A = this chain, B = another copy of it.
Amino acid sequence: MTEFTHFNEEGRAKMVDISPKSETIRMAIAASSIVVSHEIYNGVQSGRMKKGDVLAVAQVAGIMAAKKTSEIIPMCHPILLNGVNISFNWNQATDGFYELKIRATVKTKGSTGVEMEALTAASAAALTVYDMCKAIDKGMIIGPTYLLHKSGGKNGDYNRDNFEWTCKGSGEK
């Protein structure tokens, strides 16, 4: 039977004891994305030169959110992050929409993994893009957000393919 390691003997949540785990270099990569309209795509892209850099702000947001993960996710252990990097990549989606792919890479040397830090960083970067473009169009779609890679620790590595989905447009009523 499945054991939920975050719960104590009264059936309530606890922060699990990681004292027995060894300190090793651990890494995680998470993916997120945000699908935006052609108008937003043009604004963000030209913004790099003329009107400001949405992605620069999103990058800072992602990195600072990675450091805040244990304040946002209740049962997460505080971790000293060794490094955080966030990269962006545009893809043309269907129907004139564009998908901004976000990859967040987090490294630590510690007793527990950094999957949540990578997922939180990628989510915060996507939310920040939403915030900075929402005056133009509120129909942006964030996601899918998922773990691409994990290494370090005794349970071995985790790797998965990119998750493909189809974007059907804004759906505003």
Q: How far is the CB of A172 from chain B (nearest CB, A)?
A: 5
Contact B78 A61 (CB under 8 A): no
Does B59 contact A12, Cβ atoms closer than 8 Å? yes
Q: Out of B40, B56, B131, name the residue touching A56 (CB < 8 Å).
A: B56
Contact of A168 with B159 at beta-carbon distance under 8 Å, contacts A11-B51, A19-B83, A74-B63 already known: no
Interface centre among A4, A17, A54, A133 (most CB of B within 10 A): A4
In the complex, chain B residues whose CB is within 8 Å of the CB of A75? 57, 63, 128, 131-132
User: Which residues of A from 114 to 156 have beta carbons under 8 Å from B?
Assistant: 115-116, 119-120, 123-124, 126-128, 130-136, 138-147, 150
Interfacial chain B residues near A173, Cβ < 8 Å:
159-161
Q: Which of A6-30 contact B (CB under 8 A)?
A: 6-19, 25
Residues of B within 8 A of A9 (CB): 87
* A42 CA to B4 CA, complexed, in Å: 11
A74 with B139: CB separation less than 8 A: no
CB neighbours of A16 from chain B (8 A): 83
Q: How far, in whole Å, are A128 and B74 apart by their CA atoms in the complex?
A: 7
Interface residues in chain A, defined as those with a beta carbon under 8 Å from any beta carbon in chain B: 2-19, 25, 32, 39-40, 42-43, 47, 50-57, 59-61, 63-68, 70-88, 107, 109-111, 115-116, 119-120, 123-124, 126-128, 130-136, 138-147, 150, 158-161, 163-166, 168, 170-173
Closest 4 CB pairs of A and B: A143-B143, A17-B83, A7-B52, A142-B145
New A-B contacts (5) at CB < 8 Å, excluding given A19-B82, A82-B111: A80-B80, A138-B158, A141-B163, A144-B144, A160-B173
